[in-house]
A and B are shown apart, each in its own frame.
Chain A
Amino acid sequence: MDMTGEYRIGAPRTEVWAALNDPAVLKACIPGCEELDKTSDTSFEAKVVQKIGPVKARFAGTVELANINAPESYTIQGEGNGGVAGFAKGAADVHLAENEDGSTTLSYEVHATVGGKLARLGSRLIDSTATKLATRFFEAFQAHLDPEAEAPRSDEDETDAAAGPSA
């Protein structure tokens, strides 16, 4: 599954870059993130609760930062094991461009795969769920750095309605 997106953030690029590397900010913005602990300069351990279709699971996994080209771009890649729920892994190439007005344009390209029960039972919902999760992350991220930005549209109600009972 592949997704792309772009956000305009009313903050200078260096500030955006610093936030992208701050575990506290990432934890606050990653939907369902319960723990995010730095294990080295470029790696984290994470616990995330997610519900995709009929499957609800707590994913334990690692997050790595790679291809670091400060303050312009990096690849954030992660993989999580949700026990019997299966696994999910993915990578996002994140790129920051400076705008003339001092704001920053964040663009991303995500490639993600899922396996096990998630693939078996939730496959038809994965694209829409992943798009919503990405939207929620970047909107939260944008709101953190640029509280003046237009209030993001929330998909939360819709997500829960589509999610169905947990497994």
Chain B
Amino acid sequence: MGTGIGARVKRKEDRRFITGKGKYTDDIRMENQAYAAFVRSPHAHAKVTGIDKSAALAMEGVIDVLDGHQLTGDGIGNLICGWAISSRDGSPMNMGAWSALATEKVRYVGDAVAVVIAESQALARQAAEMVEVSYEELPAAVFADKALQPGAPQVHDNAPGNLIFDWVIGEEEATEAALAGSAHVVDIDLTNNRLSPNPMEPRAAVATYDEAEDHYTLYTTSQNPHVARLVLSAFYQVAPEHKLRVIAPDVGGGFGSKIYIYPEEITCLWASMRTQRSVKWTGDRSEAFMTDAHGRDHISNVKLGFDADHRITGLKIETIANLGAYMSLFSSVTPTYLHATLYSGQYVIPHIFGNVKAVYTNTVPVDAYRGAGRPEACYMIERAMEVAARQLGVDPAELRRKNFINEFPYQTPVILTYDAGDFGGNLDKAMKAADVAGFAARKAEAAARGKLRGMGYSCYIEACGIAPSAAVGSLGSGVGLWESAEVRVNPVGTIEILTGSHSHGQGHETTFAQIVSDRFGVPMENVSIVHGDTDKVQFGMGTYGSRSGAVGMSAIVKAMDKIEAKVKKIAAHQLEASEDDIVIEGGEVKVKGTDRKLAWHEIGLAAYTAHNLPPDMEPGLKEGAFYDPSNFTFPAGCYIAEVEVDPDTGVTEIIQFTAADDFGTIINPMIVEGQVHGGVAQGIGQALLEQVVYDEDGQLITGSYMDYAMPRADDVPFYTIEHNTTVCPSNPLGIKGCGEAGAIGAPPAVINAITDAIGTDALSMPATPQKVWMALQSTASLQAAE
């Protein structure tokens, strides 16, 4: 088997991961290293009235105890949200101040108030317990809908009524009119449950200040080290960019939660300057639950209209999005442009209107988590379609098929233009693989065993590869969303690819090498991928939004185009042929139709010895490229879940889960399947198990794996995975992206299946056995009453 595009190449990086030889941030040991531990608020909302550090400072081995007044006194800036969203009246969003260490007020349980720097981690944590912070407790606003009510506690003074923005998309009047004129309107309230991201590796940072050079180095668990450096420099004023190196070494998962720059990294950098020591902080699992940005947490009403022929007339969605106590880096775009732009789903919907109210609460900040806004959109549309089919008494697959978009490009009423897809083909493949035809027999067989069997569909579409920089700029983005790459061919012919994408589980060292191997015919082991270090790679926008294939690889392709052009010039010169007749094949550079050729390494050597290059050609063989996509990409697919519910216990078992995805060109099917497996597992986790719970006082009561249920091996089935490929016309490789699809498409498929089984749509995520059992009892009592 080859190693080119489409080959199931085993992951190069797995040898070091599996043998425990990966190098993560906590593995970094600096000379003269000290340890940080944070003093955190036990209250959801309180005034800080005093900090007594004396007992901690008196402990032997404690280097310093630093607070927010010292931090702001040294000119460290507030944390910011990097995407400006305006309200429907044109007013800008109300962003409250967020200091890395709280000064006047704490706003969620876990808000950092002070940091202890000590000679050991244990000592730092012990000393943090000795710091006595006096609080004057305030009532807390915990739930987004209640936070909007008059008289609710105020989280930030500059966000009256806790409203951050009141944003709209689409046409309100036309949509209202379309719904008013509809033969049937589905009207449902839906909640998208709040989730904790749970990457395997908790966040960590090691910061070093070099006084001689006035230079900082930060090792950190980041999905986008260059963006971290930019923000740390430009907004938090830690150091100018040329005086700050950010390295994200091996990173053990992110799921979005490691996009953002958190208070701890900023504090470690600043503390390293204050104490003249390297400062290391490694978060524990409790801190991860308490301080990593959560995901989802939407409360919505959906109205979906149909005409007498069951064609969709209009869609209106009103959502309250909980953004937590502070606006995290991309918190504003997640429930708006990454969310409501997908309201059209896979369907022709003539009129759409969306309204999102973003709200402050006394909970940890909420931001993008695997799928970022698209799972929330997909859940509403696909639940509404299933409910519509039940209310209209038609087959859910056929109702969808009737309303599918079949012609491309298709301009939706909510900004996006879908470039390619085959929604009917996805549905057909999934239905065949799931044996929909045999479902009735399986249902009857399950009923004979006393089990309720149900089937649910989800025809998801999402937008990846974010995105054209000019487009996102016009929508309020503070950054461009291109990607960069550099291809360095060494004198011996080996190749180094420098990329601005960052791998934290995606397998870039393998797939990126595959496209190089495919293009130049060099063996995989002669290609290495360099990423995650701002001193090595000039700039990059990082990895999130399933963009590393569509955008990151496209930048590599662009740089390879330039390499190929130069290689052909060198070969044409040395082989005395025309450039047009040179071909690169199997690691050789040949003159087409002759036996004249040079080995790949001979070209490398020629470029660097420069003894015999074409006149005016610069020596060396290194090219860089910046790639800015022309459109989003639109992965889409059809998921079918088949479940059995035990009516005595309410326990749901997923019997079969079928995924038919259209990801465009696939570089490595094994890695893509792994992404689907992981994404679907997270989607099943959201549908059946996961829920962050705060009590009425804002105390986090799901603060460990005793109380926060992650999916385990026996919660997920063996998956059936199919691909139905339409090539993406918007990038050179035709890639759409696969990282988030599973987490986007799975939840509605699972809930549609359970509600099909139990015969009521009154069920919210997570569908725990208790909730399913309760729903069954209310259905039973209703039926008894009838």
Write the residues of chain A forming the contact surface with B, with a CB cutoff of 8 angstroms: 83-84, 86-87, 113-117, 119-121, 123-124
Contact = CB atoms under 8 A, between A and B. Distances in A.
A119 B695 contact: yes
A116 B290 CA distance: 10
A125 B700 CA distance: 15
A123 B707 CA distance: 9
B194 to A, nearest CB: 15
B346 interface: no
Contact of B700 (A83, A84, A120, A124): A120
B706 A84 contact: no
Contact of B699 (A83, A84, A120, A124): A120
A160 B628 CA distance: 62
A116 B289 CA distance: 12
Given A86-B42, A115-B42, A120 B129 contact: no
Contacts of A115: 42-44, 109, 697, 699
A119 B109 CA distance: 10
A164 to B, nearest CB: 10
Contacts of A86: 42
Contacts of B697: 113, 115
Interface string B688-723: 000000010101111110110000000000000000
Contact of B289 (A87, A120, A124): A120
Contacts of B129: 83-84
Contact of B286 (A83, A114, A120): A120
A114 B699 contact: yes
Interface string B92-118: 000000000000000001000000000
Contacts of B707: 123-124
A107 B57 CA distance: 47
Contacts of A121: 286, 703-704, 706
B128 interface: yes
B210 to A, nearest CB: 33
A95 B671 CA distance: 68
Nearest to A167: B286
A121 B701 CA distance: 7
Interface string B38-65: 0000111000000000000000000000
B703 A119 contact: yes
26 contacts: A83-B129, A83-B130, A87-B42, A115-B42, A115-B43, A115-B109, A116-B42, A116-B109, A116-B699, A117-B42, A117-B703, A119-B109, A119-B699, A119-B701, A119-B703, A120-B286, A120-B290, A120-B701, A120-B702, A120-B704, A121-B703, A121-B704, A123-B703, A123-B707, A124-B706, A124-B707
A54 to B, nearest CB: 8
B364 to A, nearest CB: 12
A13 B336 CA distance: 65
Contacts of B701: 119-120, 123
Contacts of B702: 120
Nearest to B128: A84
Most buried by A among B43, B289, B701: B701
Nearest to B44: A115
Nearest to B125: A84
A87 B129 CA distance: 13
B703 A120 contact: yes
A83 B699 CA distance: 16
